[in-house]
Amino acid sequence: MRALIAGSGPPLLLVHGFPLSHQMWLPQIEHFQSSYTVIAPDLRGFRDSDISPGIVTMEQHARDLNVLLQDLKIEDPVSYCGLSMGGYIAWEFWKHFPDRLHALILCDTRADADSEEDVNNRLKMADLVLRHGPEAISTAMIPNLISESSQQNQPHISEHLISMIEATDSEGIAASQKGMAARSDFSDLIKDIHIPTLFIVGKEDRLTPPAVMQQMSTQVLESKYFEVSDAGHMAPMEAPDLVNQAIDDFLSTRLNS
């Protein structure tokens, strides 16, 4: 697995969403590298990392992250920050490697599994990408990924998202899409999370709306909930200053106290 490593200090692991790469975190990498060792991988099948055709489960991604941390000789527990699919992987990482976690930052994600309709849509999308490439889905995904105001006022974000999606291998996209379709339901388990957890969501997020994130935050004992105005599903890209500030405040009050 390839990863961008920057800075020094306590480890901060940034796990990207679907079908993107570590590049979605550029504003966070730039901001946090002055005080943290930022580790921003490209998950299996994405950008520069190896591709496994077929299906890549969320557990496989979590195991890959554990191997990455072993290879990097990171022994201190990490602050794990994941967006959407990066959040689905967070639940598996917490289940299998709880001692590796210091804190969780969950952006625009959910804990429940897919409905039958969601599964069918994912399988159709995987098939479409395998037959026609990522160009068949890239532009159509934008309205679900970012808010209307970001689409109008920050066109560079749409361009960056489209270029990340189109640079991703079709087999890699299909394999994680099938992995998400098969993911486990963690909605009854997250009440057992006993580490500081920050939930961040864009107010205009259509895929994982604020109500879903807020409900999850009430289940986790030591949690904090933060909504980002004018942002959609990609809040860390759309409103990096607000998101970085929320993460800074959370990490400094929860971890240094």
Binding site for ligand MLT (CB under 6 A): 17-18, 84-85, 180, 207, 233
The residue among 105 and 180 lying less far from ligand MLT, judged by its C-beta, is: 180
In the complex, minimum distance from the CB of residue 63 to ligand MLT, in angstroms, rounded to a whole number: 19
The residue among 69 and 164 lying less far from ligand MLT, judged by its C-beta, is: 164
In the complex, minimum distance from the CB of residue 191 to ligand MLT, in angstroms, rounded to a whole number: 22
The residue among 33 and 105 lying less far from ligand MLT, judged by its C-beta, is: 105
Taken in order 45, 59, 248, 188, the sign of the CA dihedral is positive
Contact of 235 with 108, CB cutoff 8 Å: yes
The residue among 12 and 24 lying less far from ligand MLT, judged by its C-beta, is: 24
d(CA 73, CA 66): 10
DSSP line for 130-149: HHH-GGGTHHHHHHHHS-HH
In the complex, minimum distance from the CB of residue 160 to ligand MLT, in angstroms, rounded to a whole number: 14
The residue among 84 and 147 lying less far from ligand MLT, judged by its C-beta, is: 84
In the complex, minimum distance from the CB of residue 173 to ligand MLT, in angstroms, rounded to a whole number: 11
In the complex, minimum distance from the CB of residue 48 to ligand MLT, in angstroms, rounded to a whole number: 18
In the complex, minimum distance from the CB of residue 43 to ligand MLT, in angstroms, rounded to a whole number: 10
The residue among 101 and 180 lying less far from ligand MLT, judged by its C-beta, is: 180
d(CA 218, CA 110): 13
